[in-house]
Amino acid sequence: MMKKAVLFKKLGGKKVKCLCCQRYCVIKDGLSGFCGVRKNVNGELYLIVYGKPIAVHTDPVEKKPLFHFLPGTEIFSFGTIGCNFRCSFCQNWDISQITARMIGKIRGARRELSPKKIVDYCVKNKIPSIAYTYNEPTIFTEYAHDTGVLARKKGIKNVYVSNGYESEECLKYMLNFCDAINIDIKSFSNEFYAKVCGGVRLNGVKETIKKSFEMGFWIECTTLVIPELNDSDKELKEIAEFLVAVSPDIPWHVTAFHPDYKMTDKKFTPAATLEKAVEIGKKAGLKFVYTGNILNPDGENTYCPKCKKLLIERSGMSCLTCDIKTGKNGVGTCPYCKEKIAGIWK
């Protein structure tokens, strides 16, 4: 179904200005914004993918990746078509990079998944959280909002897995329902974001990370490390130092690239590169740095930053053991030295 959007502003001549992301598209009547799923119909903005996810799964929460958020639990995950980025290395390009054929398929789809159906399913199956993921959730924020508000009433938490290009208006709207965001920081180069991600700005992502943290969302960040593009010691250090300046408690996931979509000329990320990134992150002052998309027996584990004892053991995106103690106030602590371990633990 199409549903009227909330995050937009009417302009003259039946034009509208979309307010969901930092592109702030000005859209003429009958046309859609850059993402392809927010359409101007007679001077009103509509979300054409409301209730029509294209990907639906129940995943381990560690797959998002979120390592300091309800470890060892399942998370109901869904996404639609479309994106406000054009990353040439996109690993979900088959749903995010929209085509006219895809729009026709969505419009013709009979199956709809309403917010109520999603929440009822989670309640029935005792799933404690919902992730808006696979493509960029910012572009279907009204659908996420309506789902998340219902979910919160049932004690279910909500997560965005995002490229970090939310507008300030969108972040404020998300306060009504969202608990945590995993934000990609794809590079620390303006040129990378402009050329490789489709004409967007690094500073916009940096501002989202800072604002999201200040607003009280739980934040984890992910960098897909691509050989010869964003894997230099200098750039990895810049990313780590930026995150430390926001908070040394932010977990940083450095993950391995594989050739995909329009970027098939690059090689797989060597394990040694990710191990180097972990060292750089920890040396910069980050307490928690993790590897992903590779087999690394120790790269997914959580250790106390003070006493260095193993607190959470993981393997292949599965939580094997979790020894973090959680008080009535929800604060997690190391059982050995009482050090506070940042995260959402219950």
Q: Which CATH architecture has domain 55-341?
A: Alpha-Beta Barrel (3.20)
CB 296 within 8 A of CB 310: no
Q: Is the dihedral of CA 25, 225, 257, 134 positive or negative?
A: negative
* Per-residue model confidence as pLDDT tens for the chain (346 residues): 789 999 999 999 999 999 999 999 999 999 999 999 999 999 999 999 999 999 999 999 999 999 999 999 999 999 999 999 999 999 899 889 876 566 666 655 557 899 999 999 999 999 999 999 999 999 999 999 999 999 999 999 999 999 999 999 999 999 999 999 999 999 999 999 999 999 999 999 999 999 999 999 999 999 999 999 999 999 999 999 999 999 999 999 999 999 989 999 999 999 999 999 999 999 999 999 999 999 888 999 999 999 999 999 999 889 999 999 998 888 999 999 999 999 999 9
Report pTM. 0.96
Note whether 298 and 308 are within 8 A (CB).
no
Contacts of 149 (CB under 8 A, 6+ apart): 115, 176, 177
The token pair at 74 is 């399942």
Q: Are strands 38-41 and 26-27 parallel, antiparallel or unpaired?
A: unpaired
For strand 310-315 and strand 318-322, is the pairing parallel, antiparallel, or unpaired? antiparallel
Could you give the C-alpha distances from 57 to 54, 75, 80, 118, in angstroms and in order?
A: 10, 8, 12, 11
Structural domain spans, the chain: 3-47, 55-341
CA 342 from chain center: how many Å?
Answer: 19
Residue 302 Rama label (left phi>0; alpha psi -120 to 50; beta): beta
> For the sheet containing 38-41, what is the strand order?
3-4, 44-47, 38-41
What is the three-class DSSP state of 265? coil
Give the pLDDT score at 316.
Answer: 84
> 3-state class of 71 per DSSP?
coil
Structure confidence at residue 262 (pLDDT): 92
Q: Distance between CA 192 and CA 200 in Å, rounded?
A: 9
At 98 the pLDDT is: 75
Q: CA–CA separation, 322 vs 335, rounded Å? A: 11
